[in-house]
C-alpha cells in the first residue's frame, strides 16, 4: 500500500514525459489545411514565360495534376527541385508551377539554371493567389483531381519518400476511379 503510493509521482512523471515525447515528433508548422476536399481556388494569371498568355485552374479540368508553389528566393524549393524534376520527367502526372512573389527574370533564370519541371508556371507577383491557396511557407504542393478538387497538400519540400508514399498512390487512385 505504502509502496504503491510512492509510485504515483513516478507514474505521473512518466505520463508527462510520454506526452512531451509525442510533442517532439509533431511539426507545429504543419497546419491542417481547410482546403482539402474543397475546389481549388480560381485563378487566371499571366504565365511566367509568356506574360501575354494566361493560365487558369480551369485549363486543367479533367486531369489529375500537381500545383507546386515555388520561388527563386526559396531555399527549400531548391532542395526539392530534383525530386520535382524527376517526378515531372516520369510523366506520371503533369506538374504546374505557381511562381510566388518573385521577379519574373529571377524565376526564369532559376528555371534555366536548374531545369524546368513545370508544363507552365503561373506568375503570382503580389501573392494574392497564394493567399487564396492558404500558402504560408513556400514550397507547397497540391494534388488536384479531375474535378478540380484539392485532395492533398504538402507543406515544405517534397521528398522522394513523399512522392513514393503519398503522391504517386494518390495520383494512381484518382486516375483509376474517376
Partner 1 sequence: MRKLLALLFGLILAGSVLAKEAPPAVPDPALEKRTMALAEELRCLVCQNQTIADSHAELAIDLKNQIREKLKAGMSEEQIRQYMVARYGDFVLYNPPVKATTVPLWFGPFALLVAALAGLFYYLRRRRSAAPQPLSEAEQARVQALLDSPEERR
Where do contacts with partner 1 occur on this chain (CB under 8 A)? 28-29, 31-35, 101, 126-127, 131-137
Distance CA 55, CA 139 (A): 20
Q: How far is the CB of 54 from partner 1 (least distance, A)?
A: 22
Cβ distance to partner 1 smaller for residue 84 or 155: 155
Q: How far is the CB of 31 from partner 1 (least distance, A)?
A: 5
Q: How far is the CB of 134 from partner 1 (least distance, A)?
A: 4
Cβ distance to partner 1 smaller for residue 110 or 133: 133
Q: Which residue has the cell 478540380?
A: 148
Cβ distance to partner 1 smaller for residue 31 or 173: 31
Cα dihedral 132, 78, 91, 61 in deg (nearest 10): 10
Cβ distance to partner 1 smaller for residue 46 or 127: 127
Centroid of chain to Cα 157: 8
Q: How far is the CB of 112 from partner 1 (least distance, A)?
A: 25
Q: How far is the CB of 11 from partner 1 (least distance, A)?
A: 14
Dig out the grid coordinates for 22 from the structure.
509525442
Q: Which residue has the cell 492558404?
A: 134
Cβ distance to partner 1 smaller for residue 101 or 146: 101
**How far apart, in Å, are the Cα atoms of 124 and each of 4, 50, 71, 84, 131?**
64, 13, 10, 20, 10
Q: How far is the CB of 119 from partner 1 (least distance, A)?
A: 26
Helix axes 104-114, 75-90, angle to 10 degrees: 60
Taking residue 173's Cβ as centre, other Cβ atoms within 10 Å add up to 13
Distance CA 132, CA 126 (A): 12
Cβ distance to partner 1 smaller for residue 129 or 174: 129
Amino acid at each position: 500500500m505504502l509502496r504503491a503510493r510512492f509510485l504515483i509521482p513516478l507514474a505521473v512523471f512518466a505520463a508527462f514525459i510520454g506526452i512531451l515525447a509525442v510533442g517532439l515528433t509533431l511539426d507545429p508548422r504543419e497546419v491542417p489545411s481547410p482546403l482539402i476536399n474543397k475546389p481549388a481556388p480560381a485563378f487566371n494569371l499571366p504565365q511566367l514565360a509568356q506574360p501575354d498568355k494566361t493560365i487558369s485552374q480551369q485549363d486543367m479540368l479533367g486531369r489529375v495534376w500537381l500545383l507546386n508553389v515555388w520561388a527563386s528566393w526559396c531555399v527549400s524549393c531548391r532542395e526539392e527541385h530534383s525530386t520535382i524534376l524527376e517526378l515531372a520527367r516520369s510523366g506520371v502526372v503533369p506538374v504546374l508551377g505557381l511562381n510566388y512573389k518573385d521577379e519574373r527574370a529571377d524565376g526564369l533564370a532559376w528555371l534555366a539554371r536548374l531545369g524546368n519541371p513545370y508544363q507552365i508556371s503561373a506568375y503570382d507577383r503580389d501573392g494574392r493567389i497564394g493567399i487564396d491557396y492558404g500558402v504560408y511557407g513556400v514550397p507547397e504542393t497540391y494534388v488536384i483531381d479531375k474535378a478540380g478538387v484539392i485532395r492533398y497538400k504538402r507543406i515544405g519540400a517534397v521528398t522522394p519518400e513523399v512522392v513514393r508514399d503519398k503522391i504517386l498512390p494518390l495520383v494512381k487512385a484518382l486516375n483509376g476511379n474517376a
